[in-house]
Amino acid sequence: MENEMEVFVGQKDNYEVKGFFASGGMGDIFEGVDSRGNEVLIKIPKKFTAGRNDPMNIQVVSEIDNLKLLVHPNVVKFIDTGNKGSKPFLVMEKIYGISLKEHIEDVDYSYEFATNVCKGVISALQYLRTRRVVHRDISHLNIIISDDIPKIIDFSTSIRIPEETDSIKLKGSRIGTEFFSAPEQLNDGAVYIDSDIYSLGAVTYYSLTGLKPEKYKKDIKQIERYADLPLYYLISNTLQEKRVDRIRDLSVLSNVLNGKN
């Protein structure tokens, strides 16, 4: 960004850039304010060629289109979009908080905390399912804890599953974070409408133990002291390498967590 006072003209408002915030694999994020002085984040892709139908372009557009569909307390809020030159940009809420990774490292992890994270992620996933959106990269880095509320961020990997199917296989597209994303994504590029459920188990395990899940038998042994409690049931039935072995009904998992089963 050459000029910190640069203005992004969106469809709903104008946004003045205040400074650099972060950089990811696909885009740079800047802090800004809207015309009323509200703080926002502005994301613009590092590379984008207008009119080119390549995977990078498609993913940039998909993030904007998918986030537009989502209004949920456990999901980062879409605010606006527009074009800066030939590049589309995304304006979203600025969440005040720390990542799940930072919380585990600097604050605490506990059964109560893990339950809170799990409830928030389940609620978000139930909502995403109604929009047929799969995040594909729910991890310790893509959850922000803000006033004890977990919020899922970074929909740059998200994809919508068509109504006529429950899965897509994307050749050469193995997207996700090791230990947190579903094995079928990382190994085969296969995405199911319920693939994020594996990530639910992974972030819950991480929130409970402070450890990344590595091997199922080892991980489950680590939490045996919780064997009679809901989180053990949830983790043991979602953190399964094979999709067929997972409980994929979010309402079942929600009921167990809330003591209804």
CB 103 within 8 A of CB 216: no
DSSP states along 160-220? EPPTT-SEEE-TT---S-TTTS-HHHHHH-EEETTTHHHHHHHHHHHHHHSS----HHHHH
Is 166 marked active-site?
no
Out of 137, 154, 196, 219, which one is annotated catalytic? 137
**Phi and psi, residue 214, nearest 5°:** -115, -55
C-alpha to C-alpha distance for 198 and 205, rounded to whole angstroms: 11
Tell me the pairing of strands 14-23 and 27-33: antiparallel
**Amino acid, single-letter form, for residue 216:** Y
Give the separation between CA 158 and CA 90, rounded to whole angstroms: 14
Altogether, the residues listed in the chain come to a count of 261
The first and second tokens of residue 166, run together, are 């429950």
- Residues in contact with 139: Cβ distance below 8 Å, sequence separation at least 6, in sequence order: 100, 177, 180, 181, 199, 202, 203
Nearest C-alpha neighbor of 137 from the set 208, 65, 63: 63
Name 93's bridge partners.
40
What residues are labeled active site?
Answer: 137
